[in-house]
Structure 1
Amino acid sequence: MFLEMKICATLLILINVKTSFAEEDEVPVVKLPQGQIQGHTLRSSLGNKLYYAFQEIPYAAPPIGTLRFKEATEPEKWKGIKNTTHNTRSCYINGYTVEIAPGVTESEDCLYLNVYTPVKPGSNSSIPVLFWIHGGGFYFGDGTFPVYGPQYLIDFDVVVVTINYRLGAFGFLTTEDDVIPGNIGLKDQHFALQWTYSNINLFGGDPKQITIVGESAGGASVGYHLISKKTAGLIAGAILQSGTAICSFGYQPNGNYYAFEMGKALNKNFTSEKSSDLLKVLQDADAQDINEISLEVPEDKERRIGGGSLVWVPVVESEELDGAFITGPMHNDIKEGNVNKVPVMIGYNSEEEIVFGSVDDFKEKAAKLDEDDSQIVGNVYNIDDTNKETAGQQLKKLYTKTTFEDNLSALVKFKTDSDFATPIIRHAELHSSLADVFLYQFSYKGMMGFLNTSIEGVDAVGHAEDVKYLWHVDGLDDFSSYSIGDRLTQRRLLKLWSNFVKHR
């Protein structure tokens, strides 16, 4: 009798174990309009919670051949069940050498997104959605699992969506007409957002509760979506981290000029001024050649205070163009209420600029600005050239009584304010008359931020340090090496972000 009971108990244990494994292995097949996909189950980092991951879902057709430099279109349907259990592609990183996650390669065929859900697809759940737009200056980055893993956020009961979008010239080169439309990268994001709105219910997400979230260029992108009429009805809220549509780094007033400069760089015999001729040159060119050409910004076209403007970033489009995404001055649109009036959380890190160079780099920047005070103002303000030097001198006095070379911390603080804090605070101030706004400054300095640059007199919480507390990066989750303060701060940030997504 005892032996029989022991055998039955053993069988019961084996049955329970088998059932447990089956729960982790049985991921429902999700049927999308284009076809079926099969994901896999994973475990969260903080709570060891089971969640369902669907990686590299095509949200648009590959933008290759005649679709290069054109707005995204619907992907073709596929037969059978598509495996969506890993990431292999990022968009091209224009003109720069940036490390890409192992197993991920640059490609024009890169318009994919990832969905991570804490509930089993096919259930009757309907939970809020965090839609992430990665940063990277509009020229690098991706939304792949190794770089933006959901292993922390997923414990806080939100569906997470991360995306790729075209970068650099592929995403932002434009002739400012209907031949090569402007803001293709922003329109990729919008296309992915529309996909999410239409399909996220299949993964247990609520399409009426999508909060768009982004950092740096991603934050600026979120700002553009707030302004764009095309986003109306698609979002319930927005979080802007270290970026907004009125940051100077996110606007290019000379799009047509750089488009033709790219044509000349690709083909030394190209002299045409016709957009259609340029498009042919660009579509005939090898993608790698386009990717490797890095155009510089001449000083007379510099838009960022103290230098450092980017070439391939968003533009203002003509209202007369079909599909135009941004059609007016961004500051005026917010000021006049021409925005999506949804709740916003917006903020910056205490000394954003510290991440953008070594001590020697800052000494070089300081020497340039001290030599010519007019460079402190640059072309970002509507100031006559004859008054720029005087304005620059007055601006410098707000930060130092000596020179930037003698006071590098003053330069860091000046650049943090000019590039990030001032436009972000201004955006918060303007939007607060339209909807609820929560303004923050992230000032906690911990090892989890992974920034070691130090300048005397600077509270060194630099650009993108906050990202590491919210997103899992492969190889950077050894919690035994982090202090109690780090882990407490991480949980606080995760709670704040997820509560905004869920409750706003």
Structure 2
Amino acid sequence: KPIPYPKWYPKTIIANGYKPCCPQLDINGQPHGQEDCLHLNVFVPLANIPSSSIGRRFPVMVYIQGESFENGDAALYGPEYFLDWDVIIVTFNYRLGVLGFLSTGDEHGTGNWGLYDQLLVLRWIRDHIESFGGDPNQVTLFGQGAGASSAILHLISPLSTGLFNRVIAQSGSPLCSWSMEHNAGSVAIELARKIGCPIRRGNGELIECLRRVKLAVLLKEQQQGKIFGEYPHQFVPVVEEVGVAHERLVPNEPRRLISHGHYRRIPLMMGYNKDETAFLYPLILNKQMIGDQIGNLRKYLEEKLLPRFIRATIRFGGGKNAEFEMIGNNARRITIKDYEQSIQQNILFKYFNFLNSKNYPEMAVRFVNMSTDALYGSCIDETLRLYSAAATSSNQNLNVMNHFLSLPFTNITYKYVFGYRGRNSMLNLILPGNHHRQLYNDGGLMWWPNNNNQEFDPTTNAVCHGDELFYLFNLKFSTRKPQDNRDTLIQRRLLHLWTDFAKHGY
């Protein structure tokens, strides 16, 4: 686990630049970053402090970056837009991927190192933010994607009590299937096997062997388990099984903790974007992926697309050979394969019924609707329902967090859906250029005419995962375009909503 930096007084540290990000693979699949990466950045709106308000304390907004627990760099998130609204912004790096979330499920590798990095940042803010003009009693924790899931985990963790007062969770929750690993021990063993570390001499020796492996090898090997695009994300948070419950950051299943009322009663705002999984368009419309099934859409769905998606994104407990008890009138024990097939049939009926057998663009739009519901909408809605219900529990096995229930907090709950497509989108990183014709024709993607015999591009109006970040942060992306008047209006509204929530909780 991370340890606080030793006191440096009376030495002066020049802190006017960003430090390297934590080790990860760049967009070209090459390792970059440094292991000495646990640094935070504090941005203060000093120019907005009038002479009569010396001693005024600003609300603090702490941002946890996302990117699937595998990538991320605090230097990409410029704070300038927020500073105009009289709040302090804190960004930081935390350990990612195998270095941040490898777990053997026992004392040799308890996992969640990246979450403990986040916890240390929150404790630092509690102890030191007053020195920067911040109010330690008015801290809002917000994050996107994996950062949103992390924020909710801190909300329900006994270790994070009293470190923040509000939460904004953008497009993520620990109830989402991609955000927690239930077979972490098996994942660690498979990684060790591929690298050549012993897997039959105990987890202690396994961990020691992995520590001797070159970092570049570890980073590249963690990508080898992908089945469908970037899924599954294997090195993610886990339920900690070792140690005293109240000393563990994630002491039990998040759904169980929330459903029993085991969370801090503070204002929560959660939501997601209209077409979260639009980043999958280049995958599901890929000529190579479709292959010889170009004329048989139903076969493509049933034999290739849906099986890969379900296998990559649905998380199961108990390993490959586990059986599950189906609840209902005809309860029976079924295998994972049976369960996957049941899910597939339900998906086909709900989302792809009465679909023209050759209408691939419509299929792609429906697939994005389905996967957005499956990976974001359903789990975020469930989190909000459980949280707003303010359930209490007398379950003695979960009394680790019962002390939360007596705290004088209010669980005001808000939901949003972001549906504005402006000039900037994360899709521009995947489909660069003002027009997609060349990439579609030469890059292996497919165009189809619509009813007016005009080319139909399903990505044109999609609001992708992370698109709202262009309006909250001065993102340091080379593809960023200047905003038009509508973009500026949406940006002001979003910043007003976010900062008002940070200041007032509504």
TM-score (norm. length: structure 1): 0.76
Q: 1:214·1:239 contact (CA, 8 Å) conserved in 2?
A: yes
Distance 2:422 2:158 in 1: 40
Instruction: Name which of 372, 380, 386 aligns with 1:430.
Output: 386
Amino acid of the structure 2 residue aligned with 1:110: C
Change (3 A) 1:221 1:368: farther
Q: 110-119 or 366-375, which moves further after superposition?
A: 366-375
Deviation, structure 1 residue 417: 0.6
Q: 2:278·2:459 contact (CA, 8 Å) conserved in 1?
A: no
Q: What's 1:442 paired with? A: 418
Amino acid of the structure 2 residue aligned with 1:466: E
Q: What's 2:471 paired with? A: 469
Aligned pairs for 1:215-364 (under 5 A) are 215-266=144-195, 268=196, 270-297=198-225, 308-318=231-241, 320=243, 323-358=247-282, 361=285, 364=289
Deviation, structure 1 residue 298: 8.1
Distance 2:371 2:170 in 1: 17
Deviation, structure 1 residue 461: 0.5
Deviation, structure 1 residue 431: 1.0
What stretches of structure 1 of length at least 5 have no aligned partner? Answer: 1-70
Distance 1:72 1:394 in 2: 45
Q: Which has the higher contact order (CA 8 A, sep 6+)?
A: 2
Change (3 A) 1:238 1:98: farther
Distance 1:253 1:211 in 2: 29
Distance 2:302 2:494 in 1: 39
Deviation, structure 1 residue 371: 1.3
Distance 1:277 1:422 in 2: 40
Q: What's 2:407 paired with? A: none
Q: SS of the counterpart of 1:265?
A: helix
Distance 2:340 2:216 in 1: 41
Distance 1:377 1:475 in 2: 32
Q: Once the two structures are superposed, what CA deviation does each residue of 1:89-131 show, in whole Å capped at 9, x if it has no partner?
A: 100115974699xxxx600000000001113899522121100
User: Is the aligned partner of 1:112 residue 2:39?
Assistant: yes
Q: What's 2:348 paired with? A: 396
Change (3 A) 1:82 1:397: same
Q: SS of the counterpart of 1:207?
A: strand
Q: SS of the counterpart of 2:424?
A: helix
Q: Once the two structures are superposed, what CA deviation does each residue of 1:345-389 show, in whole Å capped at 9, x if it has no partner?
A: 100000011123416546738866421766665554755333542
Q: 331-340 or 107-116, which moves further after superposition?
A: 331-340
Q: 335-344 or 358-367, which moves further after superposition?
A: 358-367
Q: SS of the counterpart of 1:250?
A: coil
Q: SS of the counterpart of 1:358?
A: helix
Q: 1:129·1:211 contact (CA, 8 Å) conserved in 2?
A: yes
Change (3 A) 1:269 1:186: closer
Q: SS of the counterpart of 2:59?
A: strand
Q: What's 1:13 paired with? A: none
Q: Size of the alignment, in residue pairs?
A: 421
Q: 1:94·1:168 contact (CA, 8 Å) conserved in 2?
A: no
Distance 1:324 1:445 in 2: 41
Distance 1:442 1:231 in 2: 29
Change (3 A) 1:430 1:270: same
Distance 1:280 1:416 in 2: 40
Change (3 A) 1:457 1:284: closer
Q: 278-287 or 118-127, which moves further after superposition?
A: 118-127
Distance 2:178 2:87 in 1: 31
Change (3 A) 1:271 1:142: same
Change (3 A) 1:359 1:168: closer
Aligned pairs for 1:161-200 (under 5 A) are 161-200=90-129
Distance 2:99 2:21 in 1: 13
Amino acid of the structure 2 residue aligned with 1:169: V
Distance 1:231 1:153 in 2: 25
Q: What's 2:452 paired with? A: none
Amino acid of the structure 2 residue aligned with 1:76: P
Distance 1:296 1:183 in 2: 21
Distance 2:226 2:425 in 1: 34
Q: Once the two structures are superposed, what CA deviation does each residue of 1:301-324 show, in whole Å capped at 9, x if it has no partner?
A: xxx9x9921111111111635742
Amino acid of the structure 2 residue aligned with 1:358: P
Aligned pairs for 1:52-63 (under 5 A) are none
Distance 2:226 2:79 in 1: 40
Q: What's 2:373 paired with? A: 417
Q: What's 1:503 paired with? A: 504
Deviation, structure 1 residue 295: 4.8
Deviation, structure 1 residue 400: 2.0
Q: 257-266 or 487-496, which moves further after superposition?
A: 257-266
Q: 2:141·2:151 contact (CA, 8 Å) conserved in 1?
A: yes
Change (3 A) 1:467 1:256: same
Q: 2:178·2:315 contact (CA, 8 Å) conserved in 1?
A: no
Aligned-residue CA RMSD (Å): 3.0
Q: SS of the counterpart of 2:41?
A: strand
Question: Percent same amino acid at aligned positions?
Answer: 29
Change (3 A) 1:352 1:172: same
User: Is the aligned partner of 1:142 residue 2:98?
Assistant: no
Distance 2:186 2:466 in 1: 31
Change (3 A) 1:118 1:296: same
Deviation, structure 1 residue 135: 0.7
Q: 319-328 or 203-212, which moves further after superposition?
A: 319-328
Q: 1:176·1:255 contact (CA, 8 Å) conserved in 2?
A: yes
Deviation, structure 1 residue 275: 2.1
Distance 2:35 2:121 in 1: 16
What stretches of structure 2 of length at least 5 have no aligned partner? Answer: 291-296, 317-323, 327-333, 391-410, 432-455
Q: 2:110·2:241 contact (CA, 8 Å) conserved in 1?
A: no
Q: 2:22·2:37 contact (CA, 8 Å) conserved in 1?
A: yes
Deviation, structure 1 residue 455: 4.4
Q: 1:126·1:206 contact (CA, 8 Å) conserved in 2?
A: yes
Amino acid of the structure 1 residue aligned with 2:3: T
